[in-house]
Structure 1
Amino acid sequence: MKRMHIAVATIALSCVLFNSSYAQTSQNSTWQMKPVSIQTRWAKDVNPQNVLPEYPRPQMVRNEWQNLNGLWEYAITAKDAAKPASFDGQILVPFPIESALSGVQKALLPTQRLWYKRTITKPDVAGGKRVLLHFGAVDWESSVYVNGKEIGGHAGGYQHFSFDITDALKDGVNELEVAVFDPTDKGINPYGKQVLNPGNIMYTASSGIWQTVWMETVPAAYIKNIRITPDIDKGNLKLEVLSAGASGDYTVEAIASNGKKVKGKPGTQLLLPVPNAKLWSPDQPYLYNLNVKLLYKGKVVDTIGSYFGMRKIEVKKDEKGIERLFLNNKYTYHLGVLDQGFWPEGLHTAPTDAALAFDVMAIKNMGYNTIRKHIKIEPARWYYHADKAGMLVWQDMVTCAGDKPEAKAQFEKENKENIAQLYNVPSIVLWVLFNEGWSRYDQQRLTEWMKKEDPSRIVNGHSGENYDKGSPAEVAKKWASSDLTDIHDYPGPGIPDALPGKARVLGEWGGVRVPTWKHQWNDLEGWGYIQVPASAFKLKYDSMVKKLKTLEEQGLSGSIYTEPFDVETEENGMMTYDREVIKISPEELRQIHSQMLPQAESYAAAPGVFKATLADTTNRDLQYASLLEQFRNGKREPDFLRELAIMANRLKDEKAASEVSAAYINTMSDPLTLGNLKFIDRFTKTSKDPGFKILLDNLKKADIVLDRKRATGKLKGIIYDEYIKPYDRLPKDSINWSRIGYAIMSKYPVPGEEILLIAKTVYYVNNKDVDSLAKATTELMAKYEADEHDELLNTVAWTMFESVSDTNLLKRALSWSKRSLQGKQKPHMADTYANLLHKLGRQEEAIEWEQKAIELDPSDKGFVYTLEKMKKGEKTWP
């Protein structure tokens, strides 16, 4: 490893030298990290003058480079606006704009564009050198400008890309700009677990530049990429060196740290001998250094440092005839975790490289040998740390964004880039194509394509196929061409059916929530599949692993526990989101895991390397009576009140929860912060609660902060409960809507009117009063957005479809049904629209939309039956 260590040290020095010169332009910065509910210990180490200084591409290391991370200017404009004439402030690259570490912490909306700007100095290009500008990843669609001229763009939120900017540079200072459009979960882009409105298993979005940006100078002819494939059975490494600007008298030479070398032409397959190879595995993660040179007439013109591991992965039968996962011709159980790769202060971006390495090391230290990297592609250095630690990696593709042809095309384009980008990584042994039926299509074709694209790894065509609908035979078809059968079982564990030629794995299981006070992203909305106190978690987990062992004896080859770290409101990690508290000690975890992997106890980190506090197993709820007595005696410290209110709510003491929460709300100096508004939202249950007036008086701002018009929804619910619910079950024509309307509108015109109209509409649906229903729906739709009431509109349209024959009413119902489809199209809504078209005699359109409903949910046999009746011209209504 000596050659690699020298290269990395040289690169780190060049980065420091560059950043010291750049610091002169940013020394007057006002950047500071934005507030965040919890943060990791590495957040304090982030320095705007030296951000993620490590060379970002460990398998293609060069010395002449400049790190462009640091403070840039930023601006947010309308999506179609011209370049901004002025900028909004500074942003710390490469942290997403939504993150605290960016110094901005603003959501980028699908209607907006994010602009970045900074200056760069033209490097020395004597002798025909070229200047390459590299981006680790930008989410999602980017355009890059140098001195006002667009030099290129890229669409894809997880892939690296580069441009040769030599010809666009002028001597001295140059201007670099990047424009980014990111619709997050509202476009055709694969976006993973990011959403605009996070909650439960979806998390805060990461828009814009989120991996290192850097420049490097290369010769006129240079090594562009390498492609390496180990073959342990033949004792060689297949190597292809791809070059740019090299033809004629150019050759390549590769030398491995075992002393073996190979020479040849660029672009051809070379065989580097690796006799008696030291095999890479979790128990011995041996890596060979690789030095690759490009020569012209025997003279070296370019050199890169790299590395490789000799390993082999396959599915074959063990001595009992059971299909198993084999590593290096030996059955190896994959004991793993589902790693999301999110950070409280950086979201998609780890604060430092040490933090990135910690995650991998911590998981190994717990006694696991596998990580399923869940619906995210990490920076190259994460895989470098996994390679060094000996972690088997199951790499998910990032979920397709929907059923539109454009979304599918983008998904397949990015999959191809992902495989090419990660092809050389030894730790990746398995690709995961689809997850739990999410936007699944053409599974067999795509699985077979992945195998052809990369024959050196196995392919999991669908993790959690049982989470999609269908009979056992139908489900088995959906694993066609996959190397595995894979189910998800929460809390589990469970085992999938055995199918010929396929190993059986448990793609996700566990999900046990262990809330950890003062280490929670949001103590009001913590979540898990099941919950146990810290005091009971070790016993619970041990019993689950004992069951897992019996399943392994039956034929299970791998299991992925959810998860190593809490993520936002998901509190089912082995460690808290801030990586400060571990819920079972590493020593005890390794001992438990030794039931599955006898060698797990040898996975301990070096002494003093792993740092975390063991979870407090004291049941604080047992102190509730004493704490409540302190409140009765006048204790009013805000932290005390908040904890006591949450405790009272958890213990279902509604009276005390109301009293204590009101006392806490009354202590708030600024009730309109996100944290305070979430507390107010949770504990405001009547119009007499202090939070009701705060929301009512600040409704517009509260809706913006809470998002999804959550404050409005809270008030509407309370108004409904107090003014409408006591009457809405009365018989038809016995409810006095005028009196109710006056009582609401005199106090709460906003949002009272909307809930009043909704309630009237629902009342008329329930009573099949179609004339009044038509009037109420017309009034509702005239004043409020359809996408907020799509389910109600669909219900109204279906009620009209079943109840009336009047053409005019059916046409109105059709218009409402169409409006319900303006947002995300759902199968039952498409079915409603099709049936209304059919009843109106528009047969071809009806058949087309019913086929659409079937495409959206192929498992619903009712849609198939309806389509058959439509084709025959038969009635589909009562």
Structure 2
Amino acid sequence: MKIINQLLLGIASAAVFQLPVNAQFGWQMQPVSIQSRWAKEVSPANALKEYPRPQMVRSTWTNLNGLWDYAITEKDATAPTAYSGQILVPYPIESALSGVKKMLQPSENLWYKKIISKPELKNGERALLQFGAVDWQATVFVNGKEVGSHSGGYQAFTVDITDALKDGQNEVVVKVYDPTSEGVGPHGKQVLNPQNIYYTPSSGIWQTVWLETVPAAYISGLVLTPDIDKGILNITVNAPAGAVVEIKAMDGNTEVGKVKGKAGVALKLPLKNARLWSPENPFLYDLSIKLTKSGDEVKSYFGMRKISIAKDEKGVDRIFLNNKPYFNLGTLDQGFWPDGLYTAPTDEALKFDIEAIKAMGFNTIRKHIKVEPARWYYHADKLGMLVWQDFVNPNQGLPPGAKEAFEKESKETLEQLHNAPSIVTWVLFNEQWGSFDQARLTEWVKKADPSRIVNGHTGEYIFIEGRETKTGKDNWVNSDMTDVHSYPDPMNSPAMPGKARVIGEFGGIGVFIADHQWNTGKGWGYIQVTPSALKGKYTIMAQHLKLLETEGLSGSIYTQPFDVEGEENGLMTYDREVVKIPFEDMRKIHSQLNPNIGNIPQVVAQNADITDPGVKYSALLQQYIDGNRDAAFLRKLTQTAQQVGDKPGAARAGKDYINTLKAPYSDEAMQFIVQFTSSTKDPGFALLQNELSNPASKLNRREVTVKLMNIVFTDVINPDLQQSGGNPDWATIETKVKPYGAPGDEIFLRAKTVYLFNKQDWQQYAPVATAYIEKYGGNLPEQERKMFQDATARGKQ
């Protein structure tokens, strides 16, 4: 029965209830359970207006963020003739800030359209359409003509649209295909199939779009590599062959170095007594690069720093920064937002995360299987934060084409992020997530960028509560470090010659903060403690890190700085409003390993209320006993009861609350009903059944249907399967599910299909699976549908 349960979970509803949005032109942020303080600052007039590429700045640019028309079609459909409404770019279509909040399916294409004016072009100038990132495959059309395409959800790309432009108004259309976990491309922690759900996917344009005009001969890229031992900055300017470039380095208003040479050739810019970059003193030089003939000029910056593995005075291999041992005290930052998902609401919000992490006393961020916008790395460079940059993991099933997509996108990531002084470590693979050819690829990364160190496989061994749960095969071959993951308590990785020892993940202490949760029905951490117990537990972990450091540990990564959706193991809440241990206390805890923070950012957040949640809930329960039946009170009581584990109390209060509701139901009420309905006997179950049969209902029919399917399976089907002794009476089960309508019919066919599939009873399986696929195949993930179809063909042979 285990496999049946797993496959049934594959259609479970997403963590957050969504309501569909009717076609409309204009923009309004959609409902979301919690939001950050910056969401209210977002509007079509000011959506991420900052210049998006701080290391290659031009003055001649136009920001195209704002309202675009959008439409969703079947994957094989032609371009739409009418659009469904407007979407706020660059927020993913699944996000509240997009104004749409709709899940894009693998069988669909997302279309964007915007009318732009042709820029004034003279003397052979070109118009470049720039995209920070589009997830996953983008095809660009101008006035109906295809002008370029790109595959890869995390990398910037440029399309020269000059020849497709006409005088006056021009139509720009972007077609997006994003199958997320059902495709071949790297997708990070966004997974469509909730059997493996991590977080809500982010599809489409999710970073800034802008238009630049450049001369016919222009600078297309820079490669900046510091060498502090020789006192030089190595520079290669990507521009037409033979072009002459002039480069100047400035310290404020003082010129400190210059060089002149040809594009495409490695040039050396000397810096006498260079000021070194570090987290304590993140000094950056300004840089100007100019093509002498065409006049194209860009502004940039760089930092002089060195990262290496070397032996300390005791002969222990450690991470060195600027030729000195430097403990990398880090945290695992995933870069998700309740209102924007992959996209921070504002640039201030983007910066806040790094400021908050530094104010906690960390000096390192492991950017976890996500590539951020260029401005995130700019803020890390300016504020002083070491970055371990993960590559985005391949599709874990490694379907045909996945390896090639991973290598292509990783190469682009290496090139795109090369110039950021904050990035000191590349992380090739996370645990066993789609890893392949580890020895070859680790060596490839080291050769492609010898200026940084490489963590070839973080979490090669994984320990949960002291038990080894997964073993790698190659033992950090060619890597610059050995790395284990250990939850919750830290441990040291093995000592190997020439490699630093690090713990790539540990911690994960779960603490829920009422009224600051993405999903009040559940919260997850490797262990769960009360707010009052967190500081003591965390302090002990930090003290163990110090003990391990004396034994050779060179870096540590705590999971995690912020809650993310249903994971409530952050040091701050998902909305960034509450810090669970005061900043000054965390800095003191960390001071043994990071004594020199430098400038401490001034960040604002509430300190957590450390009153025992059980005590607060008990007070609410007494109010209930005393007769309080106010609807808002009952709602809060239900949520609090579930959070402290009082299931009978949650069921009682939830039933009372739902009985106070009357149609038409508000968005907030519907979210509650869906979240707190868990049995066919709950009043919410019948209410949701009635809503499904109401043509005027605004609820998300598929999501609610799936919710009811899983309940019917748990309450009605699974007990019979468990008691059948391997010979279920499917006719009786079918009769039992009849009262539950379409959800009952679909879950019955699915359960019978999966059961016969697992038994490999192909003769009986074929007609059942055929009926299931014909009736409900459109609801299945593509890979699962193909698996069922292949097995059906086997049964018909």
Q: 1:282-312 CA deviation, whole Å, 9 max, x = no partner?
A: 111110111111112xxx6121111110011
Distance 1:476 1:310, change over 3 A: farther
After TM superposition, the structure 1 = structure 2 runs for residues 672-711 of structure 1, keeping only pairs within 5 Å, are: 676=669, 679-680=672-673, 683-698=676-691, 704=701, 706=703, 709-711=706-708
Matched, 1:344 2:338: yes
Deviations 1:402-437 (A, max 9, x none): 323411101000000000000111000010000010
8 Å CA contact retained: 2:72, 2:110: yes
Alpha carbons 2:531, 2:610 under 8 Å: kept: yes
Where does structure 2 lack aligned partners over 5 or more consecutive residues?
A: 1-23, 778-782
Alignment-derived partner of residue 111 in structure 2: 115
The match for 1:389 is 383
CA RMSD of aligned residues (A): 3.4
Q: How does 1:106-505 map to 2 (within 5 A)?
A: 106-197=102-193, 202-244=198-240, 247=242, 250-257=244-251, 258-296=255-293, 301-401=295-395, 402-467=397-462, 475=472, 477-505=474-502
Contact 1:313 1:429 in 2 (8 A): yes
Aligned mate of 1:668, from 661, 668, 673: 661
Cα distance in structure 1, aligned partners of 2:196 and 2:632? 25
Q: Which stretch of structure 1 is more off in the superposition, 613-622 or 388-397?
A: 613-622
In structure 2, the residue matched to 1:510 is 507
For 1:765 and 1:262, the matched residues in 2 are separated by: 69
Conserved in 1, the CA contact under 8 Å of 2:712 and 2:747? no
Q: State the Cα distance separating 1:101 from its structure 2 match.
A: 0.9
The 3 A distance-change label for structure 1 pair 462 and 787 is farther
Per-residue deviation at 1:459?
0.6
| TM-aligned CA deviation for residue 736 of structure 1 | 7.8
Distance, in Å, in 2 between the alignment partners of 1:540 and 1:247 is 62
SS at match of 2:408: helix
Structure 1: gaps (5+ residues): 1-27, 790-818, 841-878
C-alpha separation in 1, matches of 2:520 and 2:631: 15
Aligned equivalents of 1:732, 1:407: Cα separation in 2: 38
- For the pair shown, the structure with the greater C-alpha radius of gyration is 1
> What is the CA–CA distance in structure 2 between the aligned matches of 1:76 and 1:820, rounded to whole Å?
23
Confirm or deny that 1:783 pairs with 2:771.
yes
Q: Tell me, yes or no, if the aligned pair for 2:140 and 2:147 is still in contact at 8 Å.
A: yes
Distance 1:232 1:511 in 2: 38
How far off is 1:755 after superposition?
Answer: 6.3
Letter in 2 for 1:205: P
The Cα of 1:499 is off from its aligned counterpart by 1.1
Separation (CA, whole Å) in 2 of partners of 1:415 and 1:30: 37
Within the alignment, does 1:714 sit opposite 2:702 as a pair?
A: no
Please name the residue that 1:593 is paired with: 590
Instruction: State the percentage of identical aligned residues.
Output: 54
Whether the aligned pair in 1 keeps the contact of 2:737 and 2:745 (CA below 8 Å) is: yes
Q: How does 1:797-808 map to 2 (within 5 A)?
A: none
Q: What residue is the counterpart of 1:49 in the other structure? A: 45
1:563 to 540, 560, 563: 560
After the TM superposition, which residues 749-788 of structure 1 pair with which residues of structure 2 at under 5 Å, given as runs? 750-752=742-744, 777=765, 780-785=768-773
1:123/1:531 CA distance change after superposition, 3 Å = same
Deviant stretches of 4+, over 6 Å: 468-474, 671-675, 700-703, 730-733, 735-740, 754-766, 773-776, 786-789
Aligned length: 760
Q: Aligned with 1:822: secondary structure?
A: helix
Q: What pairs with 1:858-877 in structure 2 (closer than 5 Å)? A: none
Q: What is the CA-CA distance between 1:345 and the residue it aligns to?
A: 0.9
Contact 1:505 1:558 (C-alpha < 8 Å) held by counterparts: yes
SS in 2 for 1:467: strand
Structure 1 residue 266: deviation in Å?
Answer: 1.1
Q: Match of 2:323, as an amino acid? A: N
Provide Cα deviations, 1:810-834, integer angstroms capped at 9, x if missing partner. Answer: xxxxxxxxx9793499xxx99xx99
- Give, in whole Å, the separation in 2 of the partners of 1:217 and 1:331: 46
Cα distance 1:157–1:687, how it changes in 2: closer, same or farther (>3 A)? Answer: closer
What is the Cα deviation at residue 87 of structure 1?
0.8
One-letter identity of the residue aligned with 1:91: I
Whether the aligned pair in 1 keeps the contact of 2:318 and 2:554 (CA below 8 Å) is: yes
Instruction: Using the TM superposition, give the Cα deviation of residue 471 of structure 1 relative to its aligned residue in structure 2, in angstroms.
Output: 10
Instruction: Indicate whether 1:648 and 2:644 are aligned.
Output: no
> Structure 1 residues 687, 109: closer, same or farther in 2, change over 3 A?
closer
More divergent stretch after superposition (487-496 vs 119-128): 119-128
8 Å CA contact 1:524, 1:679 repeated in 2: no
Letter in 2 for 1:822: K
Name the CA shift for 1:394/1:671 in 2 (closer, same or farther; >3 Å).
Answer: farther
Question: Are residues 542 and 787 of structure 1, via their aligned partners in 2, closer, same or farther at CA, if it must alter by over 3 Å?
Answer: farther
What's the counterpart of residue 843 of structure 1? none
Q: How far apart are the structure 1 equivalents of 2:100 and 2:705?
A: 21
Q: Which amino acid aligns with 1:781?
A: A
- Shifted more, 584-593 versus 468-477: the winner is 468-477
**Alpha-carbon displacement from aligned partner over 1:328-348 (angstroms, at most 9, x marks no partner):** 000000001101111111111
> Is residue 605 of structure 2 the alignment partner of residue 612 of structure 1?
yes
Shift of 1:761: 9.1
Local SS of the residue matching 1:226:
strand
Aligned to 1:105: 101
Please report how far the alpha carbon of residue 537 of structure 1 lies from its aligned counterpart in structure 2 after TM superposition.
0.9
How many Å separate the matches in 2 of 1:674 and 1:462?
44
